[in-house]
Structure 1
């Protein structure tokens, strides 16, 4: 078996696996469990993206983001939320782990118990990526577009470096908000307003 290093940066390593080593969805899940100290994603072409854990400050901001989403999710009751450790197999075959995500209950409940236990073969309806200082903006923008192309209805890319929020929706140009104090999930996430004061 031979592996090929495609690229590396300060916080991520990209390995070309296919065709030298093909992993099934179950094998990839087991591989990730054996290396649970890392965040590992897989692209639609089979490349593995291995990332180190986020810095403490970024982790705190992501915690604040998830806290707000979880509070709204509990009150709304129409969906289920996930943190950054949840992996999802998108329709294009990629396995991704958004920093925060949400899925309508009707969609989530259509999955079997076994599918829910591993990396669920589903694209979240709502995804958020929080850019850390070492993240490439271009890579995150491509990832956000991939979510939209695979069925997400709303995506937010939050860039703390520039205090910008990029809003992604299907069949629309990306909208950029400069230094907003809040961002609204309406109409899809009715009533959800993210307060960015604790995120910035």
Structure 2
């Protein structure tokens, strides 16, 4: 695999052409600023940045995964509407974890407790850690990459992370400073420790 490193020289975004991205057979490392430019210049791509500055280009979600992710999001949204304890964010939402030693990520579903959002500017990438994050594995996802992403959430301090793996009918639960808990074909996940009253049904997900 070819490793390509983008130029580190600062550029004037007003006087340069857009950075167009072709990642065929290429591993690309970029700075945080270059990542932001790439996102602006390639709005149709789903991009993430790892802590070691490796650019991740994610395939579009297929219909089956999209349907399951919509169900997950709606179940969390319904709970949050009933409790009014925070805000729910979908898979298009970007987080900037670089100040904490992480990358720039987009969980499939995330939630932040209301008091932690006070005074925060969330027009751009969110610069605080979510309290809760879900990653739903799609058939195109690399298993080790998703687990690395979950481990990043755990290390940074996301209070509860769920890796839902329909292909193996498993759910992996990530909590700070704890061993990963693996559930085989669970019917539901109790999220009460972080989100009071939320029992997340796995019906039509696994």
Q: Shorter-chain-normalised TM-score: which range?
A: 0.7 to 0.9
Query: Across the two proteins, how many residue pairs are aligned to each other?
Result: 184
TM-score by length of 2: 0.83
> 1: distance between equivalents of 2:64 and 2:26?
22
- Equivalent of residue 154 in structure 1, options 160, 163, 166: 160
Root-mean-square deviation (Å):
2.0
Return the offset for 1:121.
Answer: 1.1
Q: Quick one: distance in 2 between partners of 1:123 and 1:145?
A: 14
Runs of 5+ consecutive residues of structure 2 not aligned to the other structure: 6-23
Report the equivalent of 1:32: 39
Give the structure 1 partner of residue 173 of structure 2: 167
The corresponding residue for 1:61 is 68
Residue 173 (structure 1) shift: 0.7
Aligned to 2:83: 76
Q: How much has 1:185 moved relative to structure 2?
A: 0.4
1:49 to 56, 69, 92: 56
Alpha-carbon shift at residue 106 of structure 1 (Å): 1.2
Greater relative contact order, per chain length (Cα 8 Å cut-off, separation 6+)? 1
Write the mapping of 1:81-160 to structure 2, written as runs, cut at 5 A: 81-90=88-97, 91-112=100-121, 116-160=122-166
TM-score w.r.t. length of structure 1: 0.85
Shift of the alpha carbon at 1:14? 3.9
Mark the runs of 5 or more structure 1 residues left unpaired by the alignment: 6-10
CA-to-aligned-CA distance 1:48-72 (integer Å, 9 cap, x gap): 1111211111011000000001101
Q: Does the CA contact (< 8 Å) of 2:51 and 2:102 recur in 1?
A: yes
